[in-house]
Amino acid sequence: MKAVVYENFNLAPTVQTVPDPTPASHGVVIKVEASGVCRSDFSGWRGHDPVISLPHVPGHELAGIVAAVGRDVKNWRVGDRVTVPFVGGCGACRECYSGNQQVCDNQFQPGFTHWGSFAQLVEAHHADLNLVGIPDNMDFATAASLGCRFVTSFRAVVDQGRVGPGN
Ligand SMILES: [Zn+2]
Ligand SMILES: [Zn+2]
């Protein structure tokens, strides 16, 4: 596949041909149809996120079509339209059991802990826990905005600012 790769922090990324990802037993590979650009991608490229190892493919605001499915995945099939949250949970730690997968102790973050969506294909782990189906009437670019920028803004305004219905 083709991917945007940086070999070192603060150096210009290049488009390279790299091996296609294969799904983990609990994961899927997604054909990327849309990917946002986020300030967190910039912070990562600057070297400010210690989970990133080099060389690296950024990108975490993604939506696409399931292209390959791991053998233990029950709920998803090739061809499903999906997106993922910025932080994926493991489903097996204290935080995940408490319903707080966004602060999972073993989190999966495309574009940070693993290669991301500035690529033709991207992996997602623990697909039955983390994938979110996209309604037929929602385009991929809109869906790609939900997992990071929309939830961040929503929680800032509604939960922290207490502005909105019921507040
Ligand atoms: Zn983001
Ligand atoms: Zn977890």
Distance 164 CA to ligand 1 centre (A): 23
Distance 137 CA to ligand 2 centre (A): 32
Sequence ranges of the domains in the chain = 2-157
Amino acid at 167: N
Distance 93 CA to ligand 2 centre (A): 4
Q: What is the pLDDT of residue 166?
A: 67
Q: What is the pLDDT of residues 116-135, one digit of tens each?
A: 999 999 999 999 999 999 99
Q: What is the pLDDT of residue 102?
A: 87
Rounded Cα distance, 55 and 13, in Å? 10
Residue 66 DSSP label: E
Among the bound ligands, the one closest to the CA of 104: 2
Q: What is the pLDDT of residue 147?
A: 92
Instruction: Give the domain 2-157 fold.
Output: Quinone Oxidoreductase; Chain A, domain 1 (3.90.180)
CB 127 within 8 A of CB 26: yes
Residue with tokens 């999972």: 104
149 CB-side CA count, 13 A = 16
Q: What is the pLDDT of residue 45?
A: 98
CB 26 within 8 A of CB 41: no
Q: What is the pLDDT of residue 164?
A: 76
Which two tokens mark 167? Answer: 């507040």
Distance 11 CA to ligand 2 centre (A): 33
CB 92 within 8 A of CB 108: no
- Regions of the chain where pLDDT drops below 50: none
CB 30 within 8 A of CB 61: no
The residues facing 80 across adjacent strands are: none
User: Considering the entire predicted model, what is its pTM?
Assistant: 0.93
CA 8 to chain centre: 21
